[in-house]
Structure 1
Amino acid sequence: MSLDSASHKDLKLKTDEEVASVQPDNVYKPEVDTSGIDERKLMRKIDWHVVPWLAVLYLLNFLDRGNIGNAKLYGMTKDLHITDTQYLVALTCFFFPYALFEPPSNIALKKLRPSKWLSFIMVVWGIAMTLHGVISSYALRVVLGLAEAGLYPGVVFFLSCWYKRTELGTRVAVFFTSATIAGAFSGLLAAAIHNMDGIGGKPGWAWIFILEGLFTVLCAIASFFILEDFPDTAKFLDETERVWVIRRLQADLKFSAGGEIFTMKYVWQSLSDWKTYIASEVGIYMGFDGPLFAFSLFTPTIINQVYMHSGFEATAANLLSVPVYAWACIMTLVIGFLGDRIGRRAYINLVLFGTGLIGYIILIASTNPALSYFAVYLAASAIYPTIPNSVAWVSSNVEGSYKRSATLGMAIGWGNLNGAVSSNVYRAVDAPWYRLGHGIVLAYIAIGWLCSLAFYFLLKRENTRREAGERDEIIDGIENENGNEKSGRYDSLNAARMDKGDDWSGFRYSL
């Protein structure tokens, strides 16, 4: 069967490998023989080189972002004569630059080497974190937000450039579990560091900032040598392995894996795509990021206030948060694995967001410390596993490396901007049950549930239309009765795929 005699519709239903087999010119570096590659061995090699260090970096990212909550329990606000309002303003100062800088940071990551860009922003936020223990200024929270902004969306995009759509969820989950470990570890670490109270004339809470910040700077320097770059330039792979990785990504409808020249067209494609807004501005990312920041910043405070009548102190509250985060870690790994195996990410999202709704309804209604503590586990079960599942779902439905980087940057940026809201909803005046804060987080989760449902039905409808040929392009030299000018005219099928990305009629959205 030749390309000229094949119909456009028949080609759409083939895998990219089959299409490449009938059009050899489309094969990435066809002169390279990859038949001797052991897939399992190579993927294990990639996993060990790519994922573990990223998890370490995100642990530091999450630890440095949330340790202000631990410092507060050890008298920071009292020593600095900070009112509750001033403390909330300090939290808010972090989120605006953190959210707004994420889209341009992702573009910079793609144009520059990840090893350079991520290492640079780590040095900046490590220095800012260290200075938290030396001087008191809102400007430090702004700088911290600017620098930390690039890590999470950058890592998510970076992983999407290495793995197939059916592999991404597990890797994101493994990477993201470092956030839950940070939540647990921060309490233990803060309790240990607080024992340095008085050393060097500084209170224990100041040493929390100083030591954690200095460690981040050291890891940033190491990152320049440890972090890998994109598959087509990765130093730990030989030429044959690089070609094999890129070919398998292109076979998974990631046509841009072999490299893409930046033009603003890709950014405009993201801005004009309805998926960008359902995923971010309307609400899936909004639905879990708002609750995430509220949970990470205020869990020790909430537990402390709930149990205050039992004589619990700050250290006890920090330690009680440890098993909550351990449970969240386990659930995140389980859901990440399950999402890749069954592929029904929409259903998983609906169940997880539903669990969160139950948890926060209990928190609003309960006046029983034990029941409220149980509800915190339900909340953790919903918030943390939803994030890697949603990230993998959205990422797998956006093709074009620059478009995907822009979409993820905007989605994660908007989601994180809601941290500016959720960081202000747990007011001291509402202690110990914080019903206003719980109610607002409940609303966020409800938005996430509704947008997940909408995303599923809209993607399913679009797949149906493509199966029916309603989106077919006109390809010169190929007869296709459904082709129409509105969908575009191209010299070849490959030209259509590269130009349109996930808008190409042969692309099928994952549900």
Structure 2
Amino acid sequence: MNEKKVANEPIVVSSADDIAPGDVEPQGFDSKATKKLLRKLDWHIIPFMLCFLDRTNIGNARLDHLEKDLGLHGLQYNNCLAILFPFYIAAEIPSNMMMKRFRPSIWLTFIMFFWSACMIGQGFVKNYSGLMATRVFLGVFEGGLFPGVNYFITQWYCRAECGFRMALFFSAATLAGAFGGILARGIAEMDHVAGIGAWAWIFILEGLASIVVSVTAYWLIYDYPATARFLTDKERDEVERRLQVDHGHLSNDFNVKYVWQAIKDWKIYIHMLICMAGFCPIYSFSLFLPTIIKNMGYTANNAQLMSVPPYVCACFFTISASWFADRFRKRGVFLMGFQLVAILGFALLAGSGNSKVQYTGTVFAAIGIYPQIPLGLAWNSSNIGGSLKRGTGIAMQVMGGNCGGIIASYVYLTRDSPRFITGHSILIGFVCMAFFLTLFMSTWCRLENKRRDKIASEAGTQDLTPAQKALEAEQADSVPWFRYQV
């Protein structure tokens, strides 16, 4: 392993992938103590992230006469889906900057409470304009959650440990899709209770549940390792030490120049496109799956229930894939594998009129598309140096993903029912684009690591002054000792 000496402190020059979790530096905890520490972090950090219901429940509400009761026609339903995303996208970078400026417990609680209130508001709208307005505010407040939580995870775990935790968070959304179908089936029996339609009860009850979660979140969220009350002084020091070494001793200062570093980094834009090509089928799938299944010949109530198995399968593979990706320190190859599975799923949907083949296609599509998001987020975040640049880069990536949400709102049009061949074909095209971009980035990272290894080998070791160390620490992942995960 090549090293540079900086102020008598070893700085790793070889790939961060050569450092095993719990063995970042010799003077740290041993393997057994590190595993115990990680389990302690998991029990205190992860549970709050799993406590939210389906945020794409408008797809379930549609089957309970939402369009009829609100008098929607033509593309108005699709417009209501699409209007959320521009505001969702606009909120993401400012939200992650607020996460850095303020405590996560304050900011996440704030946005969770108000997006829950907006969800409840959707249950009381009377027309198209009312639904559009509530969807705007839902996008404003909800936009900070996904990039915020993923950024929050990187503040506690080393790069090779983030993917599995991000997958646990994302799997909550996947399971919420399954639970949302079961819940919607039960709520259908409440149609016209208190003069309110079943579709409205879906929004109201799930919004109330989210309100309860949001008001407890302030006490459930531990902000940073330095202030974590559940850690001993020794454990707190070890968590911070591991993060410093894993991130290459790069700057964690709050300075707008690191935001601009992210904005000017071409690699992040490639990840934005990969994320967009991943989120587009996911949003299409989650927003329209009940409708797609209903058009296979099932009743509305059965379609709600039949939407559950694809989500359950997707959840299992999402968590498993990220666990193995963390274990082998590889992202690109796993991404490409699942992209091929997704293509198979949508090809089955587009190529056959047999309901059994089509339903099998929904299962393969779900298995293929959902693991891509946590794998892609972990890959991008692990390859960005510096705290604020990483937070901005994650937000940019999710912004790109949610541009896919705008497209997804118009992929499946009523005029293309019942087969939606055009929509399935569009999604195949997006996943193919993601496959080739993933192949490109994986190849580039591998070649760049070899280039830096060669330069480091030729340069040997040298002592840097504190001023030189501080200057290089501001260069983020451009510093010579940083290695990209492939």
Structure 1 length as normaliser, TM-score?
Answer: 0.87
User: 2:474 corresponds to which letter in structure 1?
Assistant: D
The residue aligned with 2:299 is 313
Say if 2:36 is the partner of 1:41.
yes
Say if 2:283 is the partner of 1:262.
no
Q: Deviations over 1:400-450 (max 9, x none)?
A: 110000000011011112201111111111111101111111111111111
Query: What is the distance in 2 between the residues matched to 1:437 and 1:157?
Result: 33
Distance verdict in 2 for CA 1:391–1:11, change over 3 Å: closer
- Please tell me whether the aligned partners of residues 5 and 461 of structure 2 are also in contact (alpha carbons under 8 angstroms): no
The residue aligned with 2:236 is 242
Say if 2:64 is the partner of 1:74.
yes
Matched position secondary structure for 1:461:
helix
Q: Deviations over 1:249-281 (max 9, x none)?
A: 12223535xx8321111011101112111111x
Matched position secondary structure for 1:414:
helix
Alpha-carbon shift at residue 36 of structure 1 (Å): 12
The residue aligned with 1:21 is none
Higher mean displacement: 336-345 or 262-271: 336-345
Query: What is the distance in 1 between the residues matched to 2:339 and 2:287?
Result: 20
Query: What is the distance in 2 between the residues matched to 1:82 and 1:248?
Result: 54
Query: What is the distance in 2 between the residues matched to 1:270 and 1:471?
Result: 29
The residue aligned with 1:177 is 171
State how 1:88-487 maps to structure 2 within 5 Å: 88-136=78-126, 137=130, 138-256=132-250, 260-280=252-272, 283-307=273-297, 312-469=298-455
- Please tell me whether the aligned partners of residues 15 and 251 of structure 1 are also in contact (alpha carbons under 8 angstroms): no
Higher mean displacement: 231-240 or 492-501: 492-501
Q: Deviations over 1:439-487 (max 9, x none)?
A: 1111111111111011111111211221121899999956xxxxxxxxx
Query: What is the distance in 2 between the residues matched to 1:205 and 1:5?
Result: 64
Query: What is the distance in 1 between the residues matched to 2:471 and 2:325?
Result: 30
- Please tell me whether the aligned partners of residues 16 and 483 of structure 2 are also in contact (alpha carbons under 8 angstroms): no
Query: What is the distance in 1 between the residues matched to 2:436 and 2:357?
Result: 27
The residue aligned with 2:22 is none
Q: Deviations over 1:68-97 (max 9, x none)?
A: 111110111111111141111111111111
Query: What is the distance in 1 between the residues matched to 2:5 and 2:427?
Result: 54
- Please tell me whether the aligned partners of residues 15 and 449 of structure 2 are also in contact (alpha carbons under 8 angstroms): no
The two structures, once aligned, show a CA RMSD in angstroms of 2.8
Alpha-carbon shift at residue 165 of structure 1 (Å): 1.6
Query: What is the distance in 1 between the residues matched to 2:31 and 2:350?
Result: 59
Alpha-carbon shift at residue 187 of structure 1 (Å): 0.7
User: 1:49 corresponds to which letter in structure 2?
Assistant: H
Distance verdict in 2 for CA 1:460–1:200, change over 3 Å: same
- Please tell me whether the aligned partners of residues 339 and 348 of structure 1 are also in contact (alpha carbons under 8 angstroms): yes
Query: What is the distance in 2 between the residues matched to 1:157 and 1:458?
Result: 24
Distance verdict in 2 for CA 1:73–1:498, change over 3 Å: same
- Please tell me whether the aligned partners of residues 346 and 428 of structure 2 are also in contact (alpha carbons under 8 angstroms): yes
- Please tell me whether the aligned partners of residues 269 and 403 of structure 1 are also in contact (alpha carbons under 8 angstroms): yes
Distance verdict in 2 for CA 1:182–1:36, change over 3 Å: closer
- Pairing partner for 1:54 from 35, 40, 49: 49
The residue aligned with 2:482 is 507
User: 1:40 corresponds to which letter in structure 2?
Assistant: K
Q: Which runs of 5+ in 1 are unaligned?
A: 19-26, 479-489
User: 2:311 corresponds to which letter in structure 1?
Assistant: Y
User: 2:434 corresponds to which letter in structure 1?
Assistant: G
Identity of aligned residues (%): 37
- Please tell me whether the aligned partners of residues 102 and 410 of structure 1 are also in contact (alpha carbons under 8 angstroms): yes
Runs of 4+ in 1 over 3 A off after TM superposition: 1-8, 13-18, 33-37, 470-478, 490-494
- Please tell me whether the aligned partners of residues 4 and 13 of structure 2 are also in contact (alpha carbons under 8 angstroms): no
Q: Deviations over 1:360-382 (max 9, x none)?
A: 12221111111111111110111
The residue aligned with 1:484 is none
Pairs aligned (count): 474
Distance verdict in 2 for CA 1:477–1:379, change over 3 Å: closer
Query: What is the distance in 1 between the residues matched to 2:312 and 2:12?
Result: 48
- Please tell me whether the aligned partners of residues 159 and 168 of structure 1 are also in contact (alpha carbons under 8 angstroms): yes
Structure 2 length as normaliser, TM-score?
Answer: 0.91
Query: What is the distance in 1 between the residues matched to 2:353 and 2:456?
Result: 56
Query: What is the distance in 2 between the residues matched to 1:332 and 1:17?
Result: 25
Matched position secondary structure for 2:370:
helix
Which structure has more RCO (C-alpha within 8 Å, separation ≥ 6)? 2
User: 1:504 corresponds to which letter in structure 2?
Assistant: V
User: 2:378 corresponds to which letter in structure 1?
Assistant: A
- Please tell me whether the aligned partners of residues 172 and 388 of structure 1 are also in contact (alpha carbons under 8 angstroms): yes
Distance verdict in 2 for CA 1:474–1:42, change over 3 Å: closer
Distance verdict in 2 for CA 1:54–1:425, change over 3 Å: same
Distance verdict in 2 for CA 1:496–1:476, change over 3 Å: farther
Distance verdict in 2 for CA 1:301–1:144, change over 3 Å: same
User: 2:445 corresponds to which letter in structure 1?
Assistant: L
Alpha-carbon shift at residue 206 of structure 1 (Å): 0.9
Query: What is the distance in 2 between the residues matched to 1:53 and 1:5?
Result: 40
User: 1:190 corresponds to which letter in structure 2?
Assistant: A
- Pairing partner for 1:494 from 450, 469, 484: 469
Higher mean displacement: 493-502 or 128-137: 493-502
Distance verdict in 2 for CA 1:369–1:474, change over 3 Å: same
The residue aligned with 1:485 is none
- Please tell me whether the aligned partners of residues 16 and 253 of structure 1 are also in contact (alpha carbons under 8 angstroms): no
